[in-house]
Amino acid sequence: MPPIGARVRVPVGTREVIGCVVAHGGTFEEGKPVRDILAVLDESPYLPEPVVRLCQWVADYYMAGIGDTISAAMPPGAHRKSAIRTRRVITATVHGVSAVESQSAELTVRQREVLTVLASTPAGLSASVLRERGGSAEVVRRMVAKGLLVIRDEQHERDPFEGAVMPAEPDSGRRVLTTEQDGACRTLEGLLDEQRFRVALLHGVTGSGKTEIYLQAARHTLQKGRQTLILVPEIALTPSVSSRFRAAFGTRVAIQHSGLSDGERHDQWQRIHRGEVDVVVGTRSAVFTPLPNPGLIVVDEEHDGSYKQEESPRYHGRDVAIVRAQASHALIVLGSATPSMESYQNAVTGKYVHIALERRVLDRPLAEVRLVNMREEYAECGPDVVISRALVEAIDTRLTKGEQVLVLLNRRGYSTAVLCRQCGDYFECPNCSVSLTVHRAHSRWRARCHYCNYTVIVPTSCRKCAAPYLEQTGFGTERVEEQLKERFPSARISRIDRDSIRAKGALTTRLSQFAAGEIDIIVGTQMIAKGHDFPRVTLVGVVSADVGLGLADFRAAERTFQLLTQVAGRAGRGEQAGEAIVQTLYPDHYSIEVARRQDYPAFFEKEINYRRGMRYPPVVALINTVVRGRQFEEAMQLATDVVARLSSAAESGRFQILGPAPAPLGKLRGEHRVQFFLKGTRRADMRNALKEVLLAMPEARRRITVDVDPLTVL
């Protein structure tokens, strides 16, 4: 019998597919044919049993298919029997070395050159490297035939650290810590010594040195004979974090994220599986990494929405990490300067150990934050202002001093919509209920939907009335970059958003250039706002700080506060004091006002009172259910049917049903959307009731999306 976690080849219809054993035994529906396994591919578990159990928990809790969850835990290439990569290595034979040393007249000029190179490389060279040095395939073939060379195949492990633009520098060991850092380390080491499941919230202001604390805790974990898993929210953060850990732990550090090639991810995963790794640094999916005995799990920037997966299984990496730590009897550390409401609530109620870092390293001051009321700016300078006078002046001052600047606008593209001034028609996506965003590609204007990727060249006249009075409204990072280049022509300016870093390695290269002082100003979206440490940055400008406040989402204020506090924290991390200039239409909104003071407790108290009054998380739990249909009436009817079947459970007082109603994003990828919410204090009751209803409606299940603990309700 194949062990749990082993891969097997099984028949599905007329096809043969690779599956994973998740359990032994079980019952089968009568009358359904049961077919035999065709082949067992692994004698021992390919996916460790603890990871399989974690996948089963994820599938149950988030109401996803176990197949989707197992796939999320598997490395690329797992569907094949073997994904081991080999390469051809060419070495000189004894006869070949002798021929070149004796200056044999039988050798051609090219053969002599090849043998000279290989004679100084006893281990040989790969065929590709030798080809670059003049050893073409035909030359090699002839030399092999003469007995001058020999070719062998060897296993080649793809190393993502090769050629890294942020190489690790040797770490001398424990650095001089601040009093707060030292206290935090001692607390965490005490928790690690307990060798049992504990959760700690490391709540430290930006620049307080949380990464150094992670390093010390990882060292202590290694002394206990266990491993460490470090989760970060964005691929952009893995180079800097992994280089710090690589400096401390050498080659026994692996990375796991989707920015690697499939081959690199596969080989790193195999190293972890073989027990050759002490520390893994990765993004959300690394929570499933096959570490044999994790003793410490760190979720850095634990508040970040990137930890929530947007497709099935819709799991939250932080919460799954907590479950994994519980199963492994490990310590999990949640780190953030702006914790999620849920985590901070658990800390203040004593469920989590609360460790506070209230001062920056070397007692550097937090950046001074100035608010610019854009309503006044528009009144004095006109409605087309993108960069305020205060921000322009501040940038000019910093550039004169040779300092660096970050400019944040959490909106991509050049402009946000195209409007006909004659008939008022907006240029909308035909598949989604959104306006198309305009991007400037060289000399051509293209309008693109950021949901379905529908793209069209911007016309010169209105599609509806044919009038030539089209106007672009709103602005994104591309327009901010353009205006900065016009105002500061001698400055070196670059942009970081999803559109500008599509090429592999582009993001890491750009961040490294900025860290090296080769770029003066970076314009970017939220990916520049968190975790990065650039000592030369003394000014942060935030354009349209309130861009998210108008969303129909109860977390809008929380996200705004977190984003502003995080990006302000990028300034003044070196010897020079920092400043942040925040442009806003709503300077009196509490999320912006307390972000100006960088006062998290004040924000929490204000926000938790709002959540209590409206009965939103973390006071209660939510399940968002979205029903899709080709026609709106079809989606609404199905949603109404599901809600009717849930009504009896809701009437018992176990939970409340809100809806159904049209979703804020009413149409997406050609389908109309209707949603309803389950709200209550007992998640299990809500999930079980919804599961029971959906099991009774198998034909409708494919048109229904369930999101347990949603981070967005759009």
Tens digit of each residue's pLDDT (9 = 90 or more) over 320-359:
999 999 999 999 999 999 999 999 999 999 999 999 999 8
CA distance linking residue 178 with residue 245, whole number of Å:
20
Q: Which tens digits make up the pLDDT trace of 614-665?
A: 999 999 999 999 999 999 999 999 999 999 999 988 887 789 999 999 999 9
Range in 10-19, 296-305, 659-668 with the lowest mean pLDDT? 10-19
At residue 264, the pLDDT reads 83
Q: What stretch of H or E contains 541?
A: strand 537-542
Question: Which of 324, 319, 378 is CA-nearest to residue 343?
Answer: 319
Is residue 306 predicted with pLDDT exceeding 60?
yes
At residue 167, the pLDDT reads 47
Q: Which tens digits make up the pLDDT trace of 355-390?
A: 999 988 888 888 899 999 999 999 999 988 999 999
Q: pTM for this structure?
A: 0.87
Q: Per residue in 208-229, is it b (16+ CB within 10 Å) or e — as a string?
A: bbbbbbbbbbbbbbbeeebbbb
Q: What percent of the chain has pLDDT over 90?
A: 62
CA distance linking residue 616 with residue 598, whole number of Å:
24
Question: Which of 158, 155, 165 is CA-nearest to residue 260?
Answer: 158
Q: Per residue in 608-631, is it b (16+ CB within 10 Å) or e — as a string?
A: beebeeeebbbbbbbbbbbbbbee
Q: What is the mean pLDDT of the chain?
A: 90
Cβ–Cβ < 8 Å for 355, 187: yes
Q: Which tens digits make up the pLDDT trace of 229-261?
A: 999 998 878 888 988 999 999 989 999 988 778
At residue 549, the pLDDT reads 87
CA distance linking residue 4 with residue 242, whole number of Å:
32
Q: How confident is the model at residue 174 (pLDDT cuts 50, 70, 90)?
A: low
CA distance linking residue 448 with residue 429, whole number of Å:
8
Is residue 171 predicted with pLDDT exceeding 70?
no
- Residues for the chain: how many in total? 714
At residue 81, the pLDDT reads 55
Q: How confident is the model at residue 699 (pLDDT cuts 50, 70, 90)?
A: confident
CA distance linking residue 449 with residue 429, whole number of Å:
6
Q: How confident is the model at residue 28 (pLDDT cuts 50, 70, 90)?
A: low
Domains and CATH numbers, the chain: 7-73 (3.40.1440.60), 86-155 (no CATH), 179-363 (3.40.50.300), 368-414+475-611 (3.40.50.300), 621-708 (3.30.70.600)
Q: How confident is the model at residue 576 (pLDDT cuts 50, 70, 90)?
A: confident
Q: How confident is the model at residue 687 (pLDDT cuts 50, 70, 90)?
A: very high
Alpha carbon of residue 435 to chain centroid: 26
At residue 35, the pLDDT reads 84
At residue 101, the pLDDT reads 85
Q: Residue range 26-38: average pLDDT?
A: 76
Q: How confident is the model at residue 134 (pLDDT cuts 50, 70, 90)?
A: confident
Q: Residue range 509-535: average pLDDT?
A: 86
Q: Residue range 142-161: average pLDDT?
A: 80
Q: Which is more confidently placed, 489 or 25? A: 489
Q: Per residue in 534-572, is it b (16+ CB within 10 Å) or e — as a string?
A: bebbbbbbbbbbbbbbeeebbbbbbbbbbbbbbbbbbbb
At residue 172, the pLDDT reads 52
Is residue 165 predicted with pLDDT exceeding 50?
no
Is residue 612 predicted with pLDDT exceeding 90?
yes
Tokens of 40: 């067992």
Sign of CA dihedral 283, 285, 290, 293: positive
CA distance linking residue 219 with residue 248, whole number of Å:
9
CA distance linking residue 37 with residue 39, whole number of Å:
6
Is residue 170 predicted with pLDDT exceeding 60?
no
